[in-house]
Each structure stands twice: as C-alpha cells, then as structure tokens.
Amino acid sequence: MKAHRQANNEIARNTPSVLIPIQAEGFNAYVDAFALAEQWLVFISLAGHKDAVKAIKATLLTNHWVNVGVYDICLLPGRKYGTIVRTLPSGITHTAIFMKGDAQSQVHYALTANPGIPDADLYFRTVITHSAVPVHCGWKTWLYKRALKKKEIEPLTVQGVHGIKVSVDDESLAEDISASLNKGTLKKAFATVPLLHFTKTSSRV
C-alpha cells in the first residue's frame, strides 16, 4: 500500500489537470479524463501503481461497477471495448479504456481532447464516418440544427475531454435532406440524392 500511495502522490505532483480518485476492490488510482453516457463508460484515462491500475482495469472489463469520484460506472452491455496500456518513465502505469465503434449500431460517440471544437463539427464528423447518406460540408450548420431538433444529439458527462452521443438514422436523414433540397433550403451539391437505398459508403464534397 505504501508503493500505491507513493505512486499516487507522484501523479498528483506532476500532473496539472484535475485528478479524480477511482476505486475498485480496495485498489485506488487517479483518473484525468473520462466520458460517460449516463452511468455507461465511453472512455476513461487512469494512472497509478501498476497493481492498482491492473486490478481496476480487470474489474471494469469483467463488467463490474467501479467508483470514479461521485459516479458509479460500468461498461455498456453489448458494446466492445479496447485498451491502451503504457508505463511512464517514473514507473507509473497509464491505461486508457475506450468503447469501440459498432458499424451495426445507430448510436455513436464523438470525442475530442480539444475543448474548442464545436458540437456541430463533432456531429458532422460522425455523419460522414457512419452514415451512408451523402452530405455537403456547407450543410454542417443545417445538419446540426436538424439533429438538435430531432434530439439525435445528447451531451455526455465528461472530464478532461469533450464529446456527444449521436443517433444516426439514414432513412430520416435522407428524407429531410431531400425535402430541404426541394424547398431550396440547401445547396444542391449532388445531381441526385438517394432516399432509401444506400451503400455503406460515406460521402462528402
């Protein structure tokens, strides 16, 4: 336990960001960044003594609850997760656990370490990555306002990162784009805009 306290004290001294205690099975470490969708883990970055970090990571990856500050968190059932582990020069172990993308899901999570990136950019990036509907970069503001109106964007609970939860419905998106093109609301950037039949290839111009 003395080694654990020394490692945690070293993190607190050398890291300028806000550190939040994380606890599981009697082990303690520190979190400098996380993103949650309600109680479900989207991303977390933690560091501490190697034994503590290993135990906390194992607790999370076996679908057990872990306490982070005022939050009790767990992996989202049905989603896959990846990990990145590295040992810092001081001997402290750093681990990142993140939710992997799911091509079969309509729900996606857009994260950035840059707080200056607006949600409209995060949403547009999500659409061009995960939707089969072709979109124009000049439509970014319209697309974002449409998504807000349809409640397809939800904020995440975050620390040290910024992110949103995005629901992508290709059929609804294509119909709304087509209607706005017909009304002249959007620039007609494509010769034709498909409504219902897509290939899973994102497009932008």
Residue 192 lies in a domain: no
Task: Label residue 187 by pLDDT band (50, 70, 90).
Answer: confident
pLDDT above 70 (res 159): yes
Mean pLDDT of the chain: 86
Give the three-class secondary structure for 15.
Answer: coil
Task: Label residue 196 by pLDDT band (50, 70, 90).
Answer: very low
Whether residues 130 and 165 fall in one domain: yes
Residue 159 lies in a domain: yes
pLDDT above 80 (res 197): no
Q: What is the pTM of this model?
A: 0.81
Residue 86 lies in a domain: yes
pLDDT above 80 (res 192): no
Residue 199 lies in a domain: no
The domain total for the chain is 2
Task: Label residue 194 by pLDDT band (50, 70, 90).
Answer: very low
* Ranges of H-type helices in 110-164: 119-130, 140-149
Provide the domain limits for residue 168.
107-183
Whether residues 76 and 7 fall in one domain: yes
Residue 198 lies in a domain: no
- Picking from 76, 99, 122, the residue at the C-terminal end of a domain is 99
- Residue 154 pairs in a beta bridge with 165
Strands (E), the chain: 20-24, 27-37, 40-48, 66-68, 71-75, 81-87, 93-99, 107-112, 153-155, 157-159, 162-167
